[in-house]
Structure 1
Amino acid sequence: LPREPYEATNRWEEYGDNIFRLKDRHEADYLLAPTHEEVFTLLVKDMYSSYKDLPVTLYQIQTKYRDEFRPR
């Protein structure tokens, strides 16, 4: 996922060296995101502008891979 949404929430720095980062052929930064809250925010930010549009339920379904000693 692109760098910009993760910079807006300061997660780009918080993840530190514990996340896989890469650059595309145009030298743009990307990461393999462990969570996708930033992407969901980008998805709905222009779709819902009033409390009358709420509540909305979003689902993220995918296989989770973790390389850690004790998965949660």
Structure 2
Amino acid sequence: MYTPNQYKHYAEQACEFEKQESWKLAREMWDLAEASAQEGSLDRFWAHSRATFCAIREQRTDKKNKLRYTIAPKP
């Protein structure tokens, strides 16, 4: 459903979460922004691209954190 004011709100929130490296929350906000953007618009394309970027960063961060806790330092 196309709602420009909601798109702007969600996009701004997503940007703030990206600055904080809160990738999961940023991805969720970009998903909402995409849903509120007009079908076929550049806003919708941009929101989808950013959500994908955040999802990849989220996965990489999770992998890095798992490795950090599974590899014990040598005594």
Q: TM-score, normalised by structure 2?
A: 0.29
Structure number with greater Rg is 2
Q: TM-score, normalised by structure 1?
A: 0.30
Structure richer in helix, relative to its length: 2
